[in-house]
Structure 1
Amino acid sequence: MATYPKILQTVLDTTDVRGLAEFYRQMFGLTYRPGDEEDKGQDWLVLRGGDGARQLAFQQVGELPAATWPDPRVPQQLHLDTTVPDVGELDAQHERALALGATLLLDRRDDPVEQLYVYADPAGHPFCIFVGS
């Protein structure tokens, strides 16, 4: 039987490690790993889910060009797909994302097949919220 590496977490580069970690902490209800809660000028932060497993990490970089999706000049490189159970929750999470500092890139809320929004986080990384399982 083959053994495979397990994905530990997704790491996002950012020019503002605390700011981006805080955006995702609030957006997805995550918690800091022990020791990361206080702002001590860290250049690496980790967020965990309710089960304690690592979900996202953030690494400080000097500069980072924001993705220009859907324009291909600067590719998105990676993006997060997230789901909600219904359109009502999609609308609620849309308002939360904007209030937390996300920028709307694509509005397909009225798509009859797949209702979704695509955003850029405060560092320019794209992420999607769509209705699905």
Structure 2
Amino acid sequence: MRGSAEFWRYLLDLRYRPGDDDVTEGELRFDRTDTPEEPLRAYADPAGHVFCIFVA
């Protein structure tokens, strides 16, 4: 559970307070931001769950 929480914190650009833990990153799996009809990126969290972010 901690890995997923860290991933979302990093993705949403949330910051730790001084003295809190450090960051864990996810992995970009697919980048389709150059497609005008439906630009998106697909990421995988540390547990391997893939999800899409639509880019405006």
Q: Same fold per TM (> 0.5)?
A: yes
Match of 1:23 in 2: 7
Does the CA-based 8 Å contact 1:108-1:115 persist in structure 2?
A: yes
Q: Which has the larger radius of gyration?
A: 1
1:108 Cα deviation after fit: 0.5
Instruction: Compute the TM-score of the two structures, normalised by the length of structure 1.
Output: 0.30
Q: CA RMSD in A?
A: 2.3
Note if contact 1:23-1:100 (Cα within 8 Å) is conserved in structure 2.
Answer: yes
Equivalent in the alignment of 1:103: 27
**TM-score w.r.t. length of structure 2:** 0.62
TM alignment of 1:38-77, pairs within 5 A:
none
Residue ranges of structure 1 left out of the alignment (5+ in a row)? 1-16, 31-98
Q: Distance in 2 between matches of 1:123 and 1:21?
A: 10
Identical-pair percentage: 54
3-state DSSP class of the match of 1:24? helix
After TM superposition, give the deviation of residue 100 of structure 1 in Å: 4.6
Distance in 2 (alpha carbons) for counterparts of 1:115 and 1:100:
25
1:59-104 deviation line (CA, Å, top 9, x unaligned): xxxxxxxxxxxxxxxxxxxxxxxxxxxxxxxxxxxxxxxx852222
1:119 corresponds, among 36, 43, 53, to: 43
| Corresponding letter in the other structure for 1:24 | W
Structure 2 CA distance for partners of 1:120 and 1:112, relative to 1, 3 Å:
same
Task: Report the equivalent of 1:130.
Answer: 54
**Structure 2 gap ranges (5+):** 15-22
